[in-house]
């Protein structure tokens, strides 16, 4: 089994590497990597329902959809991502305990007693330190998870939407949990590079079948291409997934407005905006607009409606 230490901090590229190795290889892998700040949503989720749209836009935090299911997670350089790609027997492919057991053993070697709890979490003293998700491709499984070492918990909490009541959808919801950084439980390990090195060494020494692996030029080029065509695209990150309905009431210029929109494949297909004459005038114009803050803001400006960008977030 190959052990791959990803050198890139680019989350688009790193997610693409997983998909390329899952679908274009017959080998088995353990992949360890660290990403620049981003929010990663599950394959069957609605992005705006899961993320604080205003916060991630203002802080230039990309939202990226992965190919595995599950809920929304925040990544930064204080978070270690691990992935297993293994061949699997039909009927025994989805097995979260199987793939998290070696991670639990690794944490135990550092004096941290983690437990598998719920559907896919690793917890320490009731606090979530790892979320996990899986994807099946023919006879192969991609299992990946996070390990919070010294993540910015404030940014994590601000990036993820707390109140999702304005959204109605069949999309998979996240299950909010109380989280904790592992460094608070380990006196001597605070640096993510050291943490990753310790995990690599643990697997190399405790499992004789693991050998170090470097990305080939071919795989690197394939992943770069997939990152550009898929993982950076609006079509994958925002338009993919079930339709959803958004409803909200808000005040603009002292007038209460009510808004109801239906969004399919990322596009506003129905819109009712009541409250002011100008508001009603743009209801029809919002149909066909992407449900993105910059698109709605540009449309409103073209209609010479005096609405600040701050107020556009009432539509999210």
Q: Show Cβ contacts of residue 114 under 8 Å, excluding neighbours closer than 6 positions.
A: 103, 104, 107, 108, 122, 123, 124, 129, 130
DSSP 20-51: HHHHH--S-EEEEE---SEEEE-TT--HHHHB
pTM for the full model? 0.94
First vs last C-alpha separation in the chain: 45
Across the beta sheet with 167-169, the strand order is 167-169, 244-252, 255-264, 267-274
Question: Which domains occur in the chain, in start order?
Answer: 2-236 (3.30.930.10), 244-315 (3.30.390.50)
**Could you tell me which residues are beta bridge partners of residue 84?**
30, 143
> Which H or E run contains 277?
helix 277-286
User: Tell me: the pLDDT tens digits for 129-160?
Assistant: 999 999 999 999 999 999 999 999 999 999 99
User: Tell me: the pLDDT tens digits for 255-298?
Assistant: 899 999 999 999 999 999 998 877 787 888 899 999 999 999 99
Q: How far, in Å, CA of 5 to CA of 69, rounded?
A: 24
Average pLDDT rounded to a whole number, residues 113-120: 90
Radius of gyration of the chain (CA): 21
- pLDDT reading at 49 higher than 90: yes
**Could you tell me which residues are beta bridge partners of residue 130?**
122
């Amino acid at each position: 089994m190959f052990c791959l230490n990803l050198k890139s901090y680019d989350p688009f590229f790193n997610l693409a590497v997983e998909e390329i190795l899952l679908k274009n290889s017959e080998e088995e892998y353990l992949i360890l990597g660290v990403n620049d700040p981003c929010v990663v949503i599950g394959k069957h989720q609605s992005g705006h329902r899961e993320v604080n749209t205003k916060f991630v836009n203002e802080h230039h935090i990309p939202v990226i959809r992965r190919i595995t299911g599950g809920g929304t997670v925040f990544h930064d350089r204080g978070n270690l991502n691990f992935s297993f790609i293994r061949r699997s027997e039909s009927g025994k492919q989805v097995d979260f305990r199987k793939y998290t057991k070696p991670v639990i053993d690794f944490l135990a070697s550092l004096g941290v007693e983690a437990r598998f709890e719920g559907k896919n979490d690793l917890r320490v003293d009731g606090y979530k330190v790892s979320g996990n998700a899986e994807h099946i491709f023919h006879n192969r499984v991609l299992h990946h998870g996070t390990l919070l070492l010294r993540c910015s918990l404030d940014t994590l909490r601000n990036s993820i939407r707390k109140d999702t009541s304005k959204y109605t959808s069949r999309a998979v919801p996240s299950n909010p949990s109380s989280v904790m950084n592992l460094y608070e439980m380990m006196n001597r390990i605070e640096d993510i590079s050291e943490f990753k090195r310790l995990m690599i060494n643990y697997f190399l020494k405790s499992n004789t079948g693991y050998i170090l692996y470097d990305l080939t030029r071919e795989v690197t080029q394939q992943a770069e291409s997939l990152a550009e065509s898929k993982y950076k695209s609006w079509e994958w990150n925002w338009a993919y997934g079930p339709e959803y309905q958004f409803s909200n009431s808000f005040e603009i210029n002292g007038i209460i407005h009510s808004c109801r929109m239906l969004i399919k494949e990322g596009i506003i297909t129905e819109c009712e905006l009541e409250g002011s004459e100008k508001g009603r005038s743009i209801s029809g114009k919002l149909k066909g607009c992407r449900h993105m803050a910059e698109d709605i803001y540009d449309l409103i400006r073209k209609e010479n409606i005096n609405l600040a960008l701050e107020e556009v977030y009432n539509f999210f």
